[in-house]
Structure formats: C-alpha cells, structure tokens
Structure 1
C-alpha cells in the first residue's frame, strides 16, 4: 500500500472512531437525563425498576398535604385511584399546587417515600399532561368511574 492510500485510510479510520465516540457520549448523556413517568401503582408493582430518577404522576390526595412550620419542607401523597405514594419535597411549590389536582414530581425513591426534586402542577381547569391523563384514564376505566370533566379533561 502506498503512503498516500495509507494516510487516507488512517484518516477515515480516525473519523469513524471519533464519530463513534461522539455518538456514545451523546447516547450516555441522553440516557442519564431521561426521566420516565410512572403512577404510584406502577412504582409499587416495581415497574419503575432500576431507574434512579423518574417522574411520578397523579393527583394530590385529599387531606394529605402537610408543611413543616418555618421551613420549605412539604409532604403529601400522590394517588392514581389504585394506590398512594408518599412524597417529600423541599422548596417553593408552584402557585397552582393543591389537593385533588394533577401533579408531576421528578425525583428518586428513598425507601418507601418518593423524594421530589421538582414539582409541576397543572396550569388550569382543563389541562393535564397527556401521559398523566392517559394513565389516569386507565385507572378510571379499571374502576368503572366517570372521568372528571369527561373526555375534554384529557386535552
């Protein structure tokens, strides 16, 4: 093989190796930042598996919200109609956070409690994140309960 062809081959191999390394780095970064959505029932059944960080979606259970006096520590339960999961959060809650409203919490399990890093609350009377609406709709069908607000609530 002459020196020119050998140099070109090395350049091509170097480019392929660099592209492969860049692809691997991007895939690793995306994998770390992905957060799957689960309902309390799915978490308790073990479907959340080994995901260190995930989103917990459902409704804030009535009568479950408590805030420690003089701090930003809050605790409440999230329900999907089948199960309830205790949630702890330290920080300022969204203005629209209330009991009996849809919520999506991002965080990790710590024992039997979900420790949230971020809390998102629905923004008006008719909005619910599509993933949460779909999973809550399944729970309503399973228990033969009319969905609040009918089909429009899921849009």
Structure 2
C-alpha cells in the first residue's frame, strides 16, 4: 500500500468515526426528549416512571377548580379506565368537561401531575359568530 492510499484510509476512517459519533449523539438526544402518548388504561397497567403524554376525554362532572392556588383537578377517561389528574396554571379556553385533552406530565402512582394541557376540539368546530349567523338564517 502506498503512502497516498494509507492517508486516504486514515481520512475515511476519521470521517466514519466522526459521523458515527454524531449519529449516536443525535439519537441519544432524541430518545431523551421523546415523550410517549398513553391512554388512561395504559397508564394504569404500565405505571410509567418517565414523563408521558396522557390523552383522553375529560370526564363529565369531574373538574374542580381551586382559584386560590390556580389548581384544577379533573379525571381523564378512555371509556375503559379513568385517571385522576391535576394541573396548576391557566387552562386553555377549550378545556372543559366532555372534551378531548392531552396532558404532558408524570404519573405518581395515584394522580397524573400535568405540567402542560392541550385541549382538543372536534372536527365540527365552528366559530361562535358563524354559528350565530347560521342560526339566525
């Protein structure tokens, strides 16, 4: 093997090691930031210790607001199981009973401690002004 070929092999090896190291770094960072979506039934059966995203419907009659601490206690259901949840902060306007909700947080074994709430609306959403106009016609 000539010196030119040895130098080329060294460069190719170096580039390969750098690319593999970068890929490993990127995949480990993505894995740490990944949050799994779970329904109440899955939360109860798997009892996750990592942060998860809980999704389901807010059970009717379950929302209890504490204005002094800005804490909201509610239950999320997937119509098989129900999980108690709490959130401290301002809830989205669309957050209400009978509506879909996605909550980011942790399961402590008894209550899902939500750090972020996302309220979902159905696909038939219509602005109030438009609904009023259609009702008058």
RMSD value, Cα: 1.8
For the residues of structure 2 that align with 1:6 and 1:92, how far apart are their CA atoms? 64
Q: CA deviation at 1:100?
A: 1.0
For the residues of structure 1 that align with 2:115 and 2:48, how far apart are their CA atoms? 19
Residue 87 of structure 2 aligns to a residue whose secondary structure is strand
Q: CA deviation at 1:125?
A: 5.7
Which ranges of 4 or more aligned residues in structure 1 deviate by more than 4 Å? none
Residue 45 of structure 1 aligns to a residue whose secondary structure is helix
Give matches, 1:11-50, under 5 Å.
Answer: 11-46=11-46, 49=48
Report how many aligned residue pairs link the two structures: 125
Residue 43 of structure 2 aligns to a residue whose secondary structure is helix
In structure 2, the residue matched to 1:88 is: 86
- TM-score when normalising by structure 1: 0.73
Q: Deviations over 1:43-77 (max 9, x none)?
A: 1121x655x12111111111111122322221111
In structure 2, the residue matched to 1:76 is: 74
- Bigger fraction of residues in strand: 2
Residue 121 of structure 1 aligns to a residue whose secondary structure is strand
Selected match of 2:105 from 83, 102, 107: 107
